[in-house]
Structure 1
């Protein structure tokens, strides 16, 4: 076997998950941020610029003797496949080892492949676009300086001239012997957790290098203090799926059949408000599919006075919300006051199972922890005085819960909640979406020490691929089935219909989260 020395070069990521401004409405309900160009990234929560620091060659310690009893040690801090040197013929035994990753880290890792003689195109970033689009992509490549080959992450701007599938910045290599093994640099993200490489025994006849991969074992526990890097992505390593609850939780939250709730917004295909009769037709279909609850985000479009009667007629409950946009996170905000007044005037508390104060306001920087805590207390006072006695929460992405000192918020909510979309994790295929979402909820529950619920989860039918997470109708059906099985009885599915009034967004997916076809309505 031949081996090529490859460097693991770190790249810095900046959060790109923030809300758009909706056409004809307040800034709510979008899934990811926007830029002048599309951004093709391993997961939409990271924006790439360039590598940090000089490319360096990883130099392992002196090779172990035959019948080795220890792994090499070195500067590696992520579980990239370990290069184990076998310098002479013999039997080599490498015991199992573990490595703990404390922060989400992206590196230029290595993937090996055997190639015959000839010229080959390898690697690159594959993206799917629906129209002419300019994308900015991180890609892994190699550089040779002074005879030393290193792997680096760089960015490139690429114009996709029309709809189609494009492979950006691949590597071309020429093999001059009959067959050889080459190492291809790959952009790889490692999430917090403990990784294990199993014991390996191998017999070699010539000097060689053996690559032993790590496998993720357990997710990292939620930190007890804010994470030091505020730009860390919102990914976490999936943990085993939680067992679905046997029945509804106290207060009527959750269900026993994986069809608890669906998000709903009363906008037509152009982004304008639907008529009450059109809302009723939608709600009838959702109820007919077996759902028990609708989640609404705000009071705009006369949501409560149109969705409320439809929910009552169809026997559905409501999760209602107060939406917080930019510069509106305070008790004196006219927008907040208007929403609270509208809810108090409507006051059909028998329909309401949960009040959600703000949607991803921490992550987007709309609220500080103190502001959101005060707003929740204020809302509880206002609605409690008007007759509501049910539970309250706020919902955010997992990174917001683990990167900030959220205890003041935990103290004033009744249940904890998060939005979790496995599609944005490049290591999660549709078949494992449920495992990922359940793992996200487990992290948040431990953060606050309270019962938790997923306020948004789903899978798009259109957009770009992020690693093994690709959109599509069959992929959506597979992902939703996985989520239903793992955590559906505590999850709100996003969303009832597609939203053609939105911009496609960085991931090309914003319009395509409607899952009515999966549920048969």
Structure 2
């Protein structure tokens, strides 16, 4: 959910550059390879909703009785039937008991502070049973969502809208509609009143005078307010994508392939030699990739991978990794990585610098700390000649749940890690559509072009809903992603990692996808 509103519409420790520190590196980089920290919860097939009621401002919602036909008299003066002071500009229900011409006077309400209320919306539905309203939220991992929602209660024949809260526990990433209402319509078409949680912004709101002619009995008329200030909304409007700037030149592929993640580790987690790295990079180039993404600077990543990339004509995405809470610009591990990049400085190979990987999601950085770190890295690398684009990458939920406007202002492109396997409602053949949808959400957050820095599918593991791991499923998912947006994604990962813990989904060792590409 996006922070501050009702839910709308969810690491690498720098280990030095010498192979002698590889064993420590293996354990420190565990979070880099575990695709979700809550994988155990993701693979638990259960979902529970726990309800609780809280005190909230309520408005009376008049039920809409079925009207009956009648002739229209010449004129009938009516007095509004709403009672009680109007404190917020929710639509005023006015009951017209008999046919005639009704005049409702203008009403003005001044709101001095942001207020959350239970308002009413209306929608026409045909005959049948319908599920309406509720709160829609998108979660990136197994999580517990606590949010207010609007519902109705009937007491002594009076239907009242109230705000309640619910704790919604679900084990898989995905889109959930929390606490909808169900209504049955017997007429051919009926206007149904649906309560909604609405945020009212400060301002002066006016319901203008209304003169209306009613031809039926027991009709309820809603008189809405208007304002020169922003209208109340039930969800924040995303930034438009139409004005997004073009991506920096050089980013992305020209066909269905662009980049592959690469980490220079042997199956036991030790660092690979330069010749072993060269062999791997040659295979990646043979598969048709044009770019490599590396995460940090240890295991002699920059000199070894850089030399092989130059030999085989590949580009590089370099990175700064954060593996612990703090995200301090002056942290020795961060400084070591920045210094390694400054000493290497083969910028003619580099298309993008990624500062941190899922640092918000893992709680290693606050938004402010990450913003400062990106600015510091830009200054440091800029001082030795790098003038290419910068970004940070995180799961989609981290982009949506935080106010990331300060980060948006200091990055050139937006980036996300999106793994369709962790959405239990996504079949392998639909992985491409899922990843494209995730990228679209993140692009809207910053209004900038976006890229996926990690995506893939495991070749082994348990089924997560309809998302099952396996070699054929991996191939199907990756082909789906390639066809949908292959020129904007970095596939994870080159080879399997047998040294890792398999995790509760039994998949953590099995993301290697080189065989799908024939190498």
TM-score by length of 1: 0.61
Does the CA-based 8 Å contact 1:419-1:455 persist in structure 2?
Answer: yes
User: By how many angstroms is 1:190 displaced?
Assistant: 4.0
1:73-132 deviations in Å (ceiling 9; x for gaps): xxxxxxxxxxx9xxxxxxx943887646432489xxxxxxxxxxxxxxxxxxxxxxxxxx
Corresponding residue of 1:290 = 288
Change (3 A) 1:477 1:392: same
- Which of 417, 422, 427 is the aligned partner of 1:429? 427
Corresponding residue of 1:30 = 33
Unaligned ranges ≥5, structure 2? 1-9, 14-23, 53-62, 67-124, 141-166, 188-233
Paired residues for 1:261-280 under 5 Å: 261-280=259-278
Change (3 A) 1:447 1:222: farther
Does the CA-based 8 Å contact 1:358-1:394 persist in structure 2?
Answer: yes
Paired residues for 1:239-388 under 5 Å: 249-388=247-386
Paired residues for 1:19-418 under 5 Å: 23-32=26-35, 38-39=40-41, 41=43, 52-53=50-51, 93-94=127-128, 99=133, 101-104=135-138, 190-191=175-176, 223=236, 249-418=247-416
Corresponding residue of 2:483 = 485
Q: Secondary structure, in 3 states, of the residue corresponding to 2:336?
A: helix
User: By how many angstroms is 1:40 displaced?
Assistant: 5.7
Change (3 A) 1:273 1:493: same
Q: CA RMSD in A?
A: 4.2
Corresponding residue of 2:164 = none
Change (3 A) 1:201 1:261: farther
1:410-466 deviations in Å (ceiling 9; x for gaps): 000000000000000011110110000000000000000000000000000111211
Separation in 2, partners of 1:390, 1:19: 23
Change (3 A) 1:189 1:499: closer
Change (3 A) 1:53 1:249: closer
Change (3 A) 1:259 1:283: same
Separation in 1, partners of 2:249, 2:483: 23
1:135-157 deviations in Å (ceiling 9; x for gaps): xxxxxxxxxxxxxxxxxx999xx
Does the CA-based 8 Å contact 2:174-2:423 persist in structure 1?
Answer: no
User: By how many angstroms is 1:33 displaced?
Assistant: 5.0
Paired residues for 1:490-509 under 5 Å: 490-509=488-507
Q: Secondary structure, in 3 states, of the residue corresponding to 1:301?
A: coil
Q: Secondary structure, in 3 states, of the residue corresponding to 1:29?
A: helix
Does the CA-based 8 Å contact 1:222-1:447 persist in structure 2?
Answer: no
Separation in 2, partners of 1:379, 1:273: 26
Corresponding residue of 1:419 = 417
Q: Secondary structure, in 3 states, of the residue corresponding to 2:32?
A: coil
Change (3 A) 1:417 1:34: closer
User: By how many angstroms is 1:32 displaced?
Assistant: 4.0
1:60-80 deviations in Å (ceiling 9; x for gaps): xx9x99xxxxxxxxxxxxxxx
1:26-75 deviations in Å (ceiling 9; x for gaps): 4542234568x9546368xxxx7965349xxxxxxx9x99xxxxxxxxxx
The size of the alignment, in residue pairs, is 358
1:338-360 deviations in Å (ceiling 9; x for gaps): 00000010010000000000000
Separation in 2, partners of 1:472, 1:335: 37
User: By how many angstroms is 1:254 displaced?
Assistant: 0.5
Paired residues for 1:436-447 under 5 Å: 436-447=434-445
User: By how many angstroms is 1:517 displaced?
Assistant: 1.0
Separation in 1, partners of 2:435, 2:273: 34
Corresponding residue of 2:231 = none
Change (3 A) 1:189 1:364: closer
Separation in 2, partners of 1:351, 1:268: 25
Q: Secondary structure, in 3 states, of the residue corresponding to 2:295?
A: coil
TM-score by length of 2: 0.61
Does the CA-based 8 Å contact 1:416-1:444 persist in structure 2?
Answer: yes
Does the CA-based 8 Å contact 2:431-2:478 persist in structure 1?
Answer: yes
Does the CA-based 8 Å contact 2:12-2:322 persist in structure 1?
Answer: no
Does the CA-based 8 Å contact 1:32-1:506 persist in structure 2?
Answer: no
Corresponding residue of 1:213 = none
User: By how many angstroms is 1:200 displaced?
Assistant: 11
Q: Secondary structure, in 3 states, of the residue corresponding to 1:454?
A: strand
User: By how many angstroms is 1:25 displaced?
Assistant: 4.3
1:477-509 deviations in Å (ceiling 9; x for gaps): 110011011111100000011011111123211
User: By how many angstroms is 1:257 displaced?
Assistant: 1.2
Per mean C-alpha deviation after superposition, the further-off stretch among 402-411 and 322-331 is 322-331
Separation in 2, partners of 1:314, 1:101: 51
